[in-house]
Amino acid sequence: MIRRLSVAAALLAASALAGPPLTTIQDVLYKADGTRFNGTVTISWRSFVAIDNSTITTQSLTVKVVDGNLRVRLVPTTSATPAATYAVTYNSDGRVQFQETWAVPSSAQPLRVRDVRVGTPSGAVSADTGGGAGGPVQESDVVGLIADLGARPVKGPGFAAGRVAVVNATGGVESATGNPSDCVRVDGSSGPCGETAPSFVDGDSPAGIVDGSNAMFTLSAIPDPVTSLAVYRNGVLQKAAQDFTLTGNTVQFISEATPQPGDTLLASYRLSGAQAASPQQLYPGPQVLCSGTGASTNSSTFANLGACTIPAGILAPGDRVEIRFDLAHQGSASGSTFAVQWGATTVVQRDAAAAETLIAGRADAAILAVGAQVSWQSWGAVLAFGAGVGNAADDYNSGIAINFQGKVATGADTLSLSGFTVVRVP
Question: What is the DSSP annotation of 113-127?
Answer: HHHHEE---TT-B-S
CA-CA distances (angstroms) from residue 355 to 144, 333, 351, 415? 94, 9, 12, 12
| Cβ–Cβ < 8 Å for 343, 323 | no
Q: State the Cα–Cα distance between residues 344 and 136, nearest whole angstrom.
A: 74
Q: State the Cα–Cα distance between residues 223 and 277, nearest whole angstrom.
A: 10
CB-CB neighbours of 183 under 10 Å? 15
1 within some domain: no
Are residues 364 and 417 located together in one domain of the fold? yes
Are residues 77 and 161 located together in one domain of the fold? no
The pLDDT of residue 165 is 86
Peptide bond into 223 cis (omega under 30): no
**Closest of 53, 33, 32, 56 to residue 44, by C-alpha:** 56
The pLDDT of residue 390 is 94
| Cβ–Cβ < 8 Å for 403, 341 | yes
Q: State the Cα–Cα distance between residues 159 and 58, nearest whole angstrom.
A: 35
| Cβ–Cβ < 8 Å for 404, 307 | yes
The pLDDT of residue 127 is 39
The pLDDT of residue 388 is 95
Radius of gyration of the CA atoms of the chain, in A: 45
User: Please, what is the end-to-end C-alpha distance for the chain in angstroms?
Assistant: 108
CA-CA distances (angstroms) from residue 238 to 197, 245, 251, 252? 28, 10, 11, 12
The pLDDT of residue 58 is 92
375 within some domain: yes
Are residues 157 and 261 located together in one domain of the fold? no
Q: Among residues 255, 277, 299, which one ends one of the domains? A: 277
The pLDDT of residue 100 is 92
Are residues 84 and 105 located together in one domain of the fold? yes
353 within some domain: yes
Are residues 188 and 242 located together in one domain of the fold? no
252 within some domain: yes
Q: Among residues 222, 250, 277, which one ends one of the domains? A: 277
Are residues 297 and 417 located together in one domain of the fold? yes
> β-strands 400-408, 358-367: how paired?
unpaired
Q: State the Cα–Cα distance between residues 240 and 150, nearest whole angstrom.
A: 65
Are residues 173 and 81 located together in one domain of the fold? no
10 within some domain: no
Are residues 226 and 292 located together in one domain of the fold? no
341 within some domain: yes
Q: For residue 139, what is the domain's CATH number?
A: 2.60.40
In this structure, what is the dihedral angle of CA atoms 346, 352, 356, 360, given to the nearest 10 degrees? -20
- Domain of residue 157: give its range: 153-193
pLDDT tens, the chain, 426 aa long: 555 555 555 555 444 456 899 999 999 999 989 999 999 999 999 999 998 989 999 999 999 999 999 999 999 998 888 888 999 999 998 888 889 999 999 999 999 999 999 864 443 344 344 433 345 666 766 778 888 877 788 887 777 777 788 888 778 888 888 777 778 888 777 777 765 555 778 778 888 888 899 999 988 888 888 889 999 999 899 999 999 999 988 999 999 999 999 898 999 988 765 434 444 344 455 778 888 899 999 999 999 999 999 888 778 888 899 999 999 999 988 999 999 999 999 999 999 999 999 999 999 999 999 999 999 999 999 999 999 999 999 999 888 999 999 999 888 899 999 999 999 887
For the chain, what is the domain count? Answer: 4
Are residues 59 and 184 located together in one domain of the fold? no
Q: Which string of DSSP letters, residue by residue, matches 271-301?
A: PSSHHHHS---SS-S-EEEEEE---EE--SS
Are residues 64 and 184 located together in one domain of the fold? no
DSSP 215: -
402 within some domain: yes
Are residues 35 and 129 located together in one domain of the fold? yes
Q: State the Cα–Cα distance between residues 75 and 56, nearest whole angstrom.
A: 8
| Cβ–Cβ < 8 Å for 289, 314 | yes
Query: 376-379 long-range contacts, Cβ below 8 Å, gap at least 24?
Result: 376/340, 376/347, 376/348, 377/232, 377/235, 377/266, 378/235, 378/348, 378/350, 379/234, 379/235
Q: Among residues 245, 277, 309, which one ends one of the domains? A: 277
85 within some domain: yes
In this structure, what is the dihedral angle of CA atoms 217, 222, 227, 233, given to the nearest 10 degrees? -30
pTM of the predicted model over 0.75: no
Are residues 250 and 356 located together in one domain of the fold? no
Instruction: Collapse the DSSP code of 228 into the 3-class scheme (helix H, G, I; strand E, B; otherwise coil) and give the result.
Output: helix
CA-CA distances (angstroms) from residue 240 to 65, 111, 141, 264? 86, 100, 80, 18
Q: For residue 380, what is the domain's CATH number?
A: 2.60.120
Q: State the Cα–Cα distance between residues 346 and 359, nearest whole angstrom.
A: 18
Instruction: Collapse the DSSP code of 146 into the 3-class scheme (helix H, G, I; strand E, B; otherwise coil) and give the result.
Output: helix
| Secondary-structure percent of the chain, ordered helix, strand, coil, rounded to 5 | 10, 45, 45
